[in-house]
Amino acid sequence: MIKLWFKSGSPWIWLNAAAVSTCLIMVVGVLGLVAARGAGHFWASPIVSMSYQEDDGQVKTIIGEHVDTTVTPAAMAKSTGYKLADNEDVLIQYLIKTGNRDLTGADFRWIQERHVKTQTTPADMIVVERREWGNFYGQLTAVKEDGKVIASGEKVWNVLQERLKSALTLHEQITHLEKKEIGAINYGFEQLRLKQKSLELKNAWNAETVKEFATKKAAYDVDYKRYQAQLAELYQKIRRDSLVATTESGAELVIPLSKVVEVTQPNKMGTFAKIGHYFKKLGDFLSEDPREANTEGGIFPAIFGTIMMVIMMSIIVTPFGVIAAVYLREYAKQGFTTRLIRIAVNNLAGVPSIVYGVFGLGFFVYILGGNIDSLFFPESAPAPVFGTPGLLWASITLALLTLPVVIVSTEEGLARVPKAIREGSLALGATKIETLWRTVLPMASPAMMTGLILAVARAAGEVAPLMLVGVVKLAPTLPLDGNYPFLHLDRKFMHLGFHIYDVGFQSPNVEAARPLVYATSLLLVLVIIGLNLAAILIRNHLREKYRALEG
Amino acid sequence: MSELNNSITQSSLNTASTTAYEKWRLLKDAIMRRAVVAGGLSVIFAIVVIFFYLLYVVYPLFLSADAEPVAQYSIPEENEGKTLFLAIEEQNEIAARFTDTGKVIFFEAKTGKTLAQKTILIPEGAKIVSVAQSSPVSEGAVIYGLSNGQAVIIKQQYKVTFVNDKRVITPSLKYPLGETPLVIDDSGAALEKIAFKVGEGSTTIVAKTAATIRITSFEKEQSLFGDEASLTRTDSVLDMPASHITDILVDKEDRNLFLVSDDGQLSFIDISKKNAPEIKQHLNVVEAGQKITSLSFLTGDLSLMIGDSSGLVSQWSLVKDALNKPAFQRIRAFKVSDKPVIAINTEQRRKGFLTVDAAGEMGIYHSTAERELIKEKISDSAPLSTILSPRANALLLQSNDRKIHFWKVDNEHPEVSIKSMWQKVWYESYAKPAYIWQSSSASNDFEPKYSLTPLVFGTLKASFYAMLVAIPLSLMGAIYTAYFMSPQMRIYTKPAIEIMGALPTVILGFLAGLWLAPFIEEHLSGLFSMLVVVPIGVVLFALAFQNVPEKFRQKIPEGWEGAILIPVILIAGWIAFTISVPLETALFHGTLRDWFKSELGIGYDQRNALVVGFAMGFAVVPTIFSISEDAIFSVPKHLTVGSLALGATPWQTMIRVVLLTASPGIFSAIMIGFGRAIGETMIVLMATGNTPVMDLSVFQGMRTLAANIAVEMPESEVDSTHYRVLFLAALVLFMFTFVFNTLAEVVRQKLREKYSSL
């Protein structure tokens, strides 16, 4: 009977079914992995205090967050050099984020579970998120003002929160002054320098312009001095307060509040407090600048850069894609040429993205950009303006890359518009372009939308070509700001996908950056899956609509 | 009535403007037509531009080099003595003639007009008997060996200044060791041959007198007071007969000394200890009966170019032999001419060299690429001396008919040849010929290794393992989804798998590199046992399911096997991982990784082809799945119904009818998937170690063409050979995918026609 069953091919069908199941498991697994690790990053995990027996037999206290656990079979552990007793089957290890990098030299350490003597979660443990050196874990002892203790014991926590709040306000003011106001002045100075050079090149640099420029510069100087004075004052204020805390070894550490982002006591937090804290951290992650070589802080510039690039790309790719599709479907005689174009479109879709990057770098950046520079920006030489990778070239390169997506999708939409509608319009005396513009294209617009959404999803996730044509790991300025002409197409920008690659693989402290990379990945995955689902929904909706029309 | 009249008059009044409007409409229609046609054709244009631009950048690699005469003039200041050698500075503006009377005549390279004359300080009564330049020639140091056993070292310098935005080059001479001649031979014997190297603190001079070969080194010692530096001399005499020695060379590291004798023997002596030179090797470097006629270091001083009287130039490099001891070995040879090779001039920045033979014929070659780039006859009479300019874009040659020839050389990319890119090349200091990609290094003397073979190999290896994972999964999945799955489940399954394809590859690469790679390293045996346990588990479950009473079975609708199997697979996978540990201990006495290493000698890289195979397979599955599912699904229903009606089982129908009909579609799906795997960048960049090794092992990494471009492109200098070779790599990728995609598309269009006719 079993033989017969095998002969019927049934097992094969089951195995084929297993392939589908495996694919589904893999999809769900990957998404689940990214979601779990990414979303978990913002949750305030408890701080444990362990007494741990070191290899040399000494018992020490370790304070930190529990990050990861591995279970290694005894055989493997022994082969990698761990000494286990005979009755131990497995080696359990914990990865503990101990922070305090400025004191110990490392953020993380692996410890063996069997050497942990006791483990507690004392309520008074604090986590200090610092602007430098990563997190601090320890116990708060006092708050100081100008080096004098102003609070200790019971009320120290409340005083600290109060002082920290004002320090954070001050910090915000300082950043605003430094980045916005002084940044604008620097930009103004640079523009003046370029203008002067341009006038010199045109031989129009004379006494009159010298005077004019001198007044402008003087005005900037006055502003600059004023801001400097304000800054000095703010800096003095922000440096006033500091907190004192003890580490796991009992040493005291003074942390100036100017270097502190947040102080929390996760072990005291209730569930609701933790939820509130979670969303606050999430908000910070989405809206703040990165710190510490991108391994901490937020990813706002990367989100902003990605969005800017995608918008620019959409503006370029939509008209070209739609026109090409309209030509293929409405104007061209179906035959050799259209066949050739379809093959070209398909090939364009199949060309590896890195090849687009190479093409973009060589053709757009060096040739087009280089010529634009020598024609329009001779004053900036030898520093390139458009002759170096930047937002514009990245957008054009990606527009070329996503062109096939828009063409194919639009063409499909056009093909679904019933012939009767075109004929009706033409019979009423409309010209071809009027028919297209007034009836066909509006009906096909959801299809164009689908194409555009897919193109955006593709562009948002593409990294390889961008590495060559304009993405950088850290852009000092955003491509859009308050300085004329507001949109700076020549600037380099940050990108979510590249951020993942850079932080995950190029950063000096991969372990510390890992949760951040997962969180960034989750964001990117959500955006891209959201866009794709939207495209699928629109497409399905469209199909329904035309089915109704045809019926 | 009046209203009607009104409207008629109005419309007749409007006629003129109406026609104008009509015309405008038609015009608009015509304009838009043109615009749309132009827009449509621009897609073809775009792909053509990409292709031709890549070609345009790559093309100069394959241009042949050429040289052409610029000027010819008689020797400047001929009565000041015979030319010992010529020199030319970087900008090709000023050249110099060093004479046997101790004069240096600087002249304009283009015209031969004398610019300046300098006289070298030589003691009364002494004569110049030998001269040598130190390596590298770009330092401009020259030594004169005198008839009284003394030597003088000078240095030529060309100072570039800008006067009114115009470049002015001023030549000058300097005495780096002071103007007093250095005493080499105390007995005052003439220094017949000489070689030297001026270092930071010490200077080594090797000189041959009639009887001995003497190695002298001078240590410069700054005295405590003032700038006066004193020289301390140490010397040693080489334990070797001197009489046959015809040429001496000291390398730029001041470590190796080479002597050539008139019977064609090369002696290699280690002089890193100046007071105790060590003779390492004597070897014959030319065929019996031939003589060594010229000798020169290739840039970097790692290999010697030896020209002989039969017109053969051979390259000898210090190679580690079987005993791991450095020994000189001939790594290649060039048949340059039938006449003796009079001079070899090496390029200062590349591994190229120039030869001239006794008949006045000049040739420019590149050693790594084994290319003869230029072959020209410069003069009818025998050449006397020649020099290639520092940028290797001009040359000077003095011939016996008392003329100096100035030639321009255009030789941009000599490093590249079919051989150097695709075949094994014997690089300097390598034990044997090999395929190596190593495009740049910090040092200037570096020999670039542009072998694309390891990169193409890596690309194919990565895509092979990816396809190994992707093809079974996606094809089996497609068969099931298109033919056996219930429609309700299909609605969700297909988009779910297709969405996989939309996942950014950077995320897959990140997970592969930081999560999957350590995971597989730790659970290697679990992975292998899963490959066995899961299919067996599925079949066993199916068998068990078959025997479940009908009543239960009917509760589960047909076509949902895929859903039922999810927990089965998860459980089977978990079992596989659990049993793997004791199994591993029992079978392999430790870990599988160690076993592979100790028993089979297969090393384990954490980021290896296995990881890439899984990650990239994951990325390719949706592509193949989607296209082949479409192909299978659209097989006309009457074919399958007919087959089933004739009594075939569904599986037989699937294999014999459906798959056969859909096979072109499946083929094109695989082609497109393969194209995608070949061009994928981020996954391989992040999930492999990116070392360009040629190793088939699944536990080793690789470097692919695409990843190589991503890594090196941002740092390569525009229009350099490296830049163009990277473009060539991009072109190769482009062509690969172009061929696969066109093939797939043509097959697909044929298939569509076939279906519509069925």
- CATH number for A491: 1.10.3720.10
Same domain, residue pair A246 and A304: no
Interface contact flag, B43 A352, Cβ < 8 Å = no
Determine whether the interchain pair A324/B741 forms a contact, defined as Cβ–Cβ distance below 8 Å. Answer: no
Residue the block writes with tokens 């440096």: A239
Residues B57 and B72 in one domain: no
Supply B468's token pair. Answer: 């190994």
Beta bridge partners of B437: B450
Domain extent at residue B310:
67-119+293-411
B540 touches A at CB < 8 Å:
no
Give start and end residues of each alpha helix (H) in B589-681: 592-595, 609-633, 637-645, 650-653, 659-679
Q: Could you tell me the two tokens for B6?
A: 């009104």
Both B607 and B579 in a single domain?
yes
pLDDT digits (tens, 9 = 90+) for A450-498: 899 889 999 998 999 999 998 988 888 888 888 878 888 889 999 999 9
**Kind plus residue range of the DSSP H or E element containing A440:** none
Q: Which chain B residues are within 8 Å of A373, Cβ to Cβ?
A: none
Report the length, in residues, of chain A: 551
Q: Are residues A405 and A257 in the same domain?
A: no
Q: Is residue B454 part of a domain?
A: no
- Asked whether residue B518 is assigned to any structural domain, the reply reads yes
Co-location of A425 and A471 in the same domain: yes
Cite the DSSP H helix spans in A86-150. Answer: 101-104
Same domain, B151 and B214: yes
Q: Is B510 on the interface with A (CB under 8 A)?
A: yes
Whether A426 and A544 map to the same domain: the answer is: yes
On whether residue A38 sits in a domain, the answer given is no
pLDDT band at A314 (very low <50, low <70, confident <90, very high): very high
The count of domains in chain B is 4
In this structure, the answer to whether residues B88 and B147 fall within a common structural domain is: no
Same-domain check for residues A150 and A229: yes
B746 touches chain A (CB under 8 A): yes
CA–CA distance, A388 with A370 (Å, rounded to integer): 8
Q: Look at A24 and B42 and tell me if their CB atoms are within 8 Å.
A: no
CA dist., res. B511 & res. A521, Å (int): 10
Answer yes or no: is A220 within a domain: yes
Residue B424 lies in a domain: no
Scan for tokens 């562009």, then name that residue: A459
Q: Is residue A13 part of a domain?
A: no
Residues B260 and B366 in one domain: no
Asked whether residue B693 is assigned to any structural domain, the reply reads: yes
Cα gap B732→B725, rounded to integer Å: 10
Q: Are residues B590 and B621 in the same domain?
A: yes
Residue B731 inside a domain? The answer is yes
In a domain, B678, yes or no: yes
Strands (E), B411-501: 437-438, 449-450
Alpha helices per DSSP H over A129-181: 156-175
> Is A30 inside a domain boundary?
no
Our CA angle for B745, B747, B748, nearest 5°, is 65
B249 touches B280 (CB < 8 A) = no
B686 touches chain A (CB under 8 A): yes
d(Cα B109, Cα B98) in Å, to the nearest integer?
14
Q: Which residues of A472-495 are buried (b: 16+ CB within 10 A; e: fewer)?
A: bbebeebbbbebeeeebbbbbbbb
CB count, 10 Å around CB of B491? 12
Q: What angle do CA B467, B473, B479 make, to 5 degrees?
A: 120
Of B513, B581, B584, the CB nearest to A505: B513
Do both B352 and B263 map to the same domain?
Answer: no
CA B132, B134, B137, B141: dihedral to nearest 10 degrees?
-80
Does any CB of chain A come closer than 8 Å to the CB of residue B221?
no
Instruction: Identify whether A292 is part of a domain.
Output: no
Phi-psi region of B756 (alpha: psi -120 to 50; beta: other; left: phi over 0): alpha
Tokens coding B694: 């040629």
Nearest CA in chain B to A499: B506
| A388/A517 same-domain check | yes
Chain B residues in contact with A458 by the CB 8 A cut-off are 502
Give pLDDT tens digits for A414-461.
988 888 889 999 999 999 999 999 889 988 888 898 899 889 999 998
Q: Are B306 and B274 within one domain?
A: no
Q: Which of B262, B284, B306 is the last residue of a domain?
A: B284
Q: Is B110 helix (H, G, I), strand (E, B) or coil?
A: coil
**Helix or strand or coil: residue B506?**
helix
Q: How many residues does chain B have?
A: 758
- Tell me if residue A547 falls in helix, strand or coil: helix
Residue B53 to chain A, least CA–CA distance (Å):
7
Identify the segments of chain B with pLDDT beneath 50.
1-13
DSSP state of B276: S
Q: In the prediction, which pLDDT does B624 show?
A: 94
* B601 DSSP assignment: -
Note whether B583 contacts A: Cβ–Cβ < 8 A. Answer: no
The reply to whether B426 falls in a domain is no
Residue B728, token pair as written in the block: 């060539």
Distances (CA, A) of A277 to A151, A167, B541: 25, 19, 47
B553/A contact by beta carbon, under 8 A? no
Q: Which residues of A197-229 are buried (b: 16+ CB within 10 A; e: fewer)?
A: eebeeeeebeeeeeeebeeebeebeeebeebee
* Alpha-carbon span B430 to B264, nearest angstrom: 25
The verdict on residue A66 lying in a domain is yes
Q: Where are the alpha helices (DSSP H) in A239-295?
A: 271-287
B72 touches chain A (CB under 8 A): no
Those residues with Cβ within 8 angstroms of residue B700's Cβ, 6 or more apart along the chain or in another chain: B603, B605, B608, B609, B693
Q: HSE on the CB side for A39, CA within 13 Å?
A: 9
Closest residue in B to A388 (Cα) is B714
**How far is the first Cα of chain B from the last one, in angstroms, to the nearest whole number?**
66
Q: With respect to residue A286, please indicate whether it lies within any of the assigned structural domains.
A: no
Distance between CA B414 and CA B436 in Å, rounded? 18
**Looking at the structure, do residues B210 and B104 belong to the same domain, yes or no?**
no
A490 shares a domain with A346: yes
Chain B, residues 43-62, CB within 8 A of chain A, namely 43-44, 46-47, 49-50, 53-54, 57
Contact (CB<8Å) A30/B542: no
B341 and B399 belong to one structural domain: yes
Domain count, chain A: 3
Nearest chain A residue (CA) to B745: A343
d(CA A251, CA A60): 13
Find the CATH number of the domain harbouring B106: 2.130.10.10
- The pLDDT value recorded for residue A10 is 85
Which residues make Cβ contacts (< 8 Å) with residue A388, sequence separation at least 6? Answer: A365, A369, A490, A492
* B691 and B557 share one domain: yes
pLDDT for residue B226: 53
- What's the CA gap between B611 and B711, in Å, rounded? 20
Q: Please determine, for residue A280, whether its predicted confidence score (pLDDT) is greater than 90.
A: yes
Tokens of B443: 């040092």
Q: Are residues A119 and A154 in the same domain?
A: no
Asked whether residue A345 falls in the same domain as residue A472, the answer is: yes
Picking from A98, A123, A148, the residue at the C-terminal end of a domain is A123
pLDDT (0 to 100) of residue B9: 45
CB contact under 8 A, B480 and A463: no
In a domain, residue B417? The reply is: no
Domain stop point among A60, A92, A123: A123
Q: Residue type for A19, please? A: A
Sign of CA dihedral A33, A37, A40, A45: positive
Q: Which of B434, B432, B436 is nearest to B322 (CA)?
A: B432
Annotate B234-247 with DSSP letters as a single string: EEEE-SS--TTEEE
Does A484 share its domain with A435? Answer: yes
* Residues A487, A437 share a domain: yes
Q: Do B359 and B215 reside in the same domain of the chain?
A: no
Q: Are residues A358 and A491 in the same domain?
A: yes
Q: Phi and psi for A361 in degrees, rounded to 5?
A: -65, -45
Which residue type does B166 have?
A: K
Report how far residue A345's alpha carbon sits from residue B748's, in angstroms, rounded to the nearest whole number: 14
Answer whether B214's CB lies under 8 Å from B185's CB.
Answer: yes
CB contact under 8 A, A463 and B682: yes
Contact A434 B654 (CB under 8 A): no
User: HSE (CB half, 13 Å, CA atoms) of B439?
Assistant: 23
Q: Look up the domain containing A424 and give its range.
A: 300-550
Q: Rounded to an integer, what distance in angstroms lies between the CA atom of residue B479 and that of residue A17?
A: 9
Residue A130 covered by a domain: no
H or E stretch covering B69: strand B66-74
Query: pLDDT of A242-264, one tens digit each?
Result: 999 988 888 888 999 989 988 99
Average pLDDT over residues A271-295: 90
pLDDT value of residue A33: 93
